[in-house]
Amino acid sequence: MEHTADADPRRWWGLVIIALAQLMVVLDATIVNIALPSAQHDLGISDGNRQWVITAYTLAFGGLLLLGGRIADLVGRKRTFVIGLVGFAAASALGGAATTAGMLFGARALQGAFAAVLAPSALSLLTTTFTDPKERGKAFGIYGALAGSGAAIGFIVGGLLTEYLDWRWCLYVNVPIAIVAVLGALSLLHDRPGQAGARLDVPGAVLGCGGLVAIVYGFSEAEPRGWADPLVLGLLAFGVVLLIAFVWWQSRAPMPLLPLHIIKDRDRAGCFLTMGLAVIGMFGLFLFMTYYLQVILGYSPVKTGLAFLPLTVAIITGSTQISARLLPRVQPRALMVPGAVLAAGGMMILTQLTVHSAYASDILPALLLMGLGMGMIFMPVFATATAGVAPQDSGVTSATVNTSQQVGGSIGTALLNTIATTSSTAYVTAHLTGPAGRAQVVAEGTVHGYTVAIWWATGIMLLAGLVAGLMVTARPPQHAPRTAVRESVT
């Protein structure tokens, strides 16, 4: 029997539940950033190991997403969605109750693993619930806004919870959200059953996940060890070899984890690349701005979180008021390319930061431009990458979009952080003439490092625009055939 999703008056409430789950997953990548100093002090985590509170989550999330997408296709999306929510809540509670550093790292990795199951099932439920082009545009606008602004919202919530309650609440807060989402999912979301007799591609999962984990781990270790370190070079080379083996195996596997026809599609490949490059620039920037506002300008956790609010508002505006309204009538790249140029323009403003920059004149305009630009990239990328996908492939396609976002974020943080640290050290060494004025030179060197890294982020963002302009040639959605999407609603 067929459910016509468009006839279900509760489908917009279903979108609220899907968006709530996605927001929880995305903001968890950053919510603990502001809480990190408190957690480090409480649990006695060393400076060298503190990055694992962030990296354990993004590694497990980025590395296991493809497997999560395939599980969603095999088991059924609604069931996978609920399992992911319950597991995520349990892992969050475990992390909040952590008494040792290892327990916190393990809980964060577990959170990432369940997020990898949850995120692709959320996006594929959205794909099959909204099939009318106009409604689909609105739904993806809301979803894209949350996916794009989740990291910034994480800073605000993290600041409030850390300053007024305790760092542990940055993890505990997921439990009530997950309970509401589970109850909503059970009553509001429809799904078709999983594919009978299908099985998981285990060798593909090992090769693909292993390759991604090795590369992200290599990038994260490049900051403390340096790019020429044998371990870093070995990890990056090993990761590349595993990914080449993964592609070779996918062309021969009886039931591949990532059917190669999904990434052979020019528009889809262009969307994945655009997303990855855009997020490399954006996530690294979040890290610098957090440290700049707290360490250089002396903002409190709450004030730092609130400083990101205009960015969040701008991303939501770009997604829902610009992209969602224009996408049915214009080519996706007509939004993505100007979006990348706008975001790069905002980043260029930030390359002028000094130790004494003012928020209103030097930072706010940049945040607004970046937010509008990212909103114009995220929404059309999500909508275009998942449009017209065969029902059995919607979970894995959704997972690939999310993988490009998470892996891009992990690489961006490690890559730009290494550039910033190296530039800062070189500046301090060149300008420090004696103990007098050391604090001032260190502060100037730190900001110099940020600006050098932001120039790199600007270049990567412009590259994202170039990729979108050259590779994404899809027509406006209302002119494109929608047979495959209609078939996927059962």
In whole angstroms, what is the distance from residue 302 CA to residue 138 CA?
A: 32
Q: What is the pLDDT of residue 490?
A: 27
Indicate the pLDDT class of residue 92, thresholds 50, 70 and 90: very high
The larger pLDDT score, comparing residue 438 to residue 488, is at 438
**What distance, in Å, lies between the first and last C-alpha atoms of the chain?**
7
Q: What is the pLDDT of residue 18?
A: 82
Q: What is the pLDDT of residue 30?
A: 72
Q: Is the pLDDT of residue 234 over 90?
A: yes
Q: Is the pLDDT of residue 436 over 70?
A: no
In whole angstroms, what is the distance from residue 244 CA to residue 391 CA?
A: 27
Q: What is the pLDDT of residue 48?
A: 53
The larger pLDDT score, comparing residue 314 to residue 69, is at 314
pLDDT average, residue stretch 321-336: 84
Give one DSSP letter per residue of 290-350, joined into a string.
HHIIIIIS---HHHHHHHTHHHHHHHHHIIIIIIHHHTTTS-THHHHHHHHHHHHHHHHHH
In whole angstroms, what is the distance from residue 263 CA to residue 260 CA?
A: 6
Q: What is the pLDDT of residue 49?
A: 66
Q: Is the pLDDT of residue 242 over 70?
A: yes
Q: What is the pLDDT of residue 196?
A: 57
Lowest mean pLDDT among 95-109, 153-167, 213-227, 317-331: 213-227
Q: What is the pLDDT of residue 289?
A: 82
- Its pTM stands at 0.77
Q: What is the pLDDT of residue 482?
A: 37
Mean pLDDT rounded to a whole number for the chain = 80
pLDDT average, residue stretch 424-452: 83
Q: Is the pLDDT of residue 223 over 80?
A: no
Residue pLDDT, tens place only, 155-169: 777 888 878 888 888
Q: Give Cβ neighbours of residue 187 (< 8 Å, ≥ 6 apart).
A: none
Q: Is the pLDDT of residue 325 over 50?
A: yes
Q: Is the pLDDT of residue 27 over 60?
A: yes
The larger pLDDT score, comparing residue 351 to residue 120, is at 351
Q: What is the pLDDT of residue 148?
A: 61
In whole angstroms, what is the distance from residue 143 CA to residue 415 CA?
A: 28
In whole angstroms, what is the distance from residue 161 CA to residue 167 CA?
A: 7
Q: What is the pLDDT of residue 183?
A: 85
Indicate the pLDDT class of residue 480, thresholds 50, 70 and 90: very low
pLDDT average, residue stretch 360-389: 86
Lowest mean pLDDT among 11-20, 449-458, 479-488: 479-488
Helix axes 101-129, 77-96, angle to 10 degrees: 160
CB 197 within 8 A of CB 118: no
CB 382 within 8 A of CB 140: yes
Burial class (CB in 10 A: 0-12, 13-18, 19+), 434: exposed
Residue pLDDT, tens place only, 176-199: 888 888 888 877 776 665 555 567
Q: Say how far residue 77 (Cα) sits from the centre of its chain.
A: 21
In whole angstroms, what is the distance from residue 72 CA to residue 78 CA?
A: 8
CA angle (348 as vertex; 347, 352 as ends), nearest 5: 110
Residue pLDDT, tens place only, 250-295: 888 877 777 787 777 888 888 888 988 998 888 767 777 877 887 7
